[in-house]
Structure 1
């Protein structure tokens, strides 16, 4: 298999970057300059900084011992992944352009600027990650915490080496523990579904197409639009992974709501039901022919679905027979964590 570097940034208001894809607020045109996206929120009170408490799980919490990625993959993700696989020469191009130097740069940069989470280092964060991985039937990657005022999280997976997730301190400050675990589960969803492989190859192919004289620009633009469609679908899949771990749609929707307009000082006033009603009002406002055109023009080159639409999607899936069937197949967790 090719040596692959993937960067999956969890939430981002900036453009997706070379060898990367974002998971948060929608971003627009590709910008091939660095590895991760970001977004800003207000600062957190000092008294709450990095204060972690164990997740309190209900006795009914379950794990998915035989979970396969296709069990929760969004239909649009399946469809667009097949389209990416059909691009001639994508794997060969990835093998040619990716190598150990890129791997080492990203790995050493992360090790040198972050804190590695373990049983002896930020153990409660370690618990959140290991529990989420257990629920999704996945080996837990390494988890790093990086000091940054920009709330963000992303995943890197390097062929032959253990993948790792990076979480910024400001994201920890913004979210509750259950919400933070949903974020980690979203990142695990990218690993479970091998999303980064296809994104990396597609980014490289898009970059290479720009160098072809004459028609290169048209080819690259077409690939960009296809890549954006896949990215938006992949995010819907990983929101489902977050729900499988949290097993409470309001937790996942709360994360999306806070990304849309939350801050620590207003957290106790936010209302998930009102946010879902806002999503329904968006659907109504965009249902006319003019609204439909504006909506498509607004989202065609975004790397993420709009946050209100992601909230509506996860709410709908939480009520679906597919989700109910997955829960019926699951097993109760061996350990129940309490405060």
Structure 2
């Protein structure tokens, strides 16, 4: 599986701006810090790990060598220095998800394993590794298992259900949808083939297996461009918002449109050339918070994203750790 190893790849090099904006809104939602503290104290991550590892098949070099090799290549290519467990779960749809902050694990459905070609599986695994590298997992697993947390945990005496207000749930789901745009960029940086990304998204959108061999990605890309054109109409914008506000994932065509826009802007090729971020001169010309890496205008006394005092500038540092998250990338 030929490709470029993106040594030193940084989140800031490929993070989608809507992801960063939605995360900023989420972390400033009233009661969110309390929710994180309570979930950490209760041990929601241990609960999910026991549930998942007790039910699903673990992928190893001996049991599923082809899948394991794809994982190893994507892990190296995206420069993810921590070990990640891989599992297969019974499922009728092409899907994958990630949980676990201290010990991340990726779950692939049986249908994904059966219906995705090796390079398409590489895109999916790199997408999930992107969530891990971008430190999405703590918030991602709260959003992914929100019904379980609200229904089961909230019915107990931990006071968690009361914290999950409608505003917080909306902020969580909105961020999760935006985080998929960042993870899709990681998926493309992993497989390094846009055609593979389009085929994978078409399968995720429901392409029947009998059409896999004759798939026409040009029509799909035209649909993605047509979808972008809908934004010119205010009524269409409102309709798209109403249809997506409660969804866990952005529409697949919208994801394709966002990824296509990133490619056509030239930023994808720039990341392949400079995985650590802008060239040194450009980085020096830009100003970033020296705590969270948020880009600044240069006049702020406090960063609007992390609320820390701005004491210096320079190339974007690694993003901050969310509450309760241990340093994940220890070499």
Do both share a fold (TM > 0.5)?
A: yes
Asked if 2 retains the 8 angstrom alpha-carbon contact of 1:181 and 1:246, the reply is yes
Q: Which moved more, 1:284-293 or 1:168-177?
A: 284-293
1:93 CA displacement: 2.9
| Cα offsets for 1:168-222 (capped at 9, x unmatched) | 221111111101111001111111111122345675799668637xxxxxx8222
Alignment of structure 1 residues 46-57 onto 2, 5 Å: 56-57=1-2
Q: 1:84 maps to which residue?
A: 26
Distance 1:205 1:75, change over 3 A: farther
- Return the alpha-carbon distance in structure 2 between the equivalents of residues 76 and 171 of structure 1: 28
How far did residue 251 of structure 1 move? Answer: 1.0
Using the TM superposition, give the Cα deviation of residue 305 of structure 1 relative to its aligned residue in structure 2, in angstroms: 1.8
1:211 aligns with 2:165: no
Per-residue CA distance 1:135-171 (angstroms, 9 max, x = gap): 1110240111233334322112143xx2111112211
| Conserved? CA contact 1:286–1:295, under 8 Å | no
Where do residues 164-179 of structure 1 align in structure 2 (5 Å cutoff)?
A: 164-179=105-120
C-alpha distance in 2, partners of 1:80/1:272? Answer: 30
Alpha-carbon distance in structure 2 between the residues aligned to 1:311 and 1:130: 26
Does structure 2 conserve the Cα–Cα contact (< 8 Å) formed by 1:118 and 1:126? Answer: yes
Task: Give deviations 1:221-250, integer Å, cap 9, x for gaps.
Answer: 222322232112100000000010111112
Matched, 1:324 2:266: no
Kept in 1, the 8 Å contact 2:59–2:88? The answer is yes
For 1:74 and 1:158, locate their aligned partners in 2 and report how far apart those are by CA, in whole Å. Answer: 21
Asked whether 1:116 is paired with 2:58, we answer yes
Tell me the CA shift for residue 261 of structure 1: 2.5
Q: Of 91, 109, 122, which aligns to 1:148?
A: 91
Structure 2 unaligned blocks of 5 or more: 277-331
Contact 2:99 2:140 in 1 (8 A): no
Q: Offset at 1:109?
A: 3.0
Name the SS for the 1:121 alignment partner: coil
Q: Distance in 1 between matches of 2:114 and 2:221?
A: 24
Partner of 1:277: 222
In structure 2, the residue matched to 1:191 is: 132
Separation (CA, whole Å) in 2 of partners of 1:320 and 1:83: 26
**TM-fit CA distance, 1:84:** 2.1
Structure showing greater relative contact order (alpha-carbon pairs closer than 8 Å, 6 or more residues apart): 1
- The whole-number CA distance in structure 2 between the counterparts of 1:228 and 1:184 is 22
Change (3 A) 1:118 1:330: same
Compute the displacement of 1:132 (Å). 0.5
CA deviation vs aligned residue, 1:23-46 (integer Å, no higher than 9, x gap): xxxxxxxxxxxxxxxxxxxxxxxx
- Greater CA drift, 73-82 or 148-157: 148-157
Alignment pair present for 1:134 and 2:76: yes
Distance in 1 separating the partners of 2:142 and 2:60: 32
Alpha-carbon separation, structure 1, partners of 2:52 and 2:248: 24
Q: 2:189 aligns with which of 240, 244, 248?
A: 244
1:129/1:184 contact within 8 Å kept: yes
**Structure 1 pair 71–275 and aligned structure 2 pair: CA distance change class (3 A):** same
CA distance in 2 between counterparts of 1:117 and 1:201 reads 25
Question: 2:11 pairs with 59, 69, 78, which one?
Answer: 69
Aligned to 2:179: 234
Q: 1:278 to 1:266 in 2, by over 3 A?
A: same
CA drift of 1:105 comes to 3.8
Indicate which of 262, 267, 290 corresponds to 2:235: 290
Aligned residues: 265
- Provide the rounded CA distance (Å) in 1 between the counterparts of 2:261 and 2:33: 35
CA distance, structure 1, for counterparts of residue 113 and residue 29 of structure 2: 39
| 1:120–1:73 Cα change, 3 Å | same
RMSD: 2.7
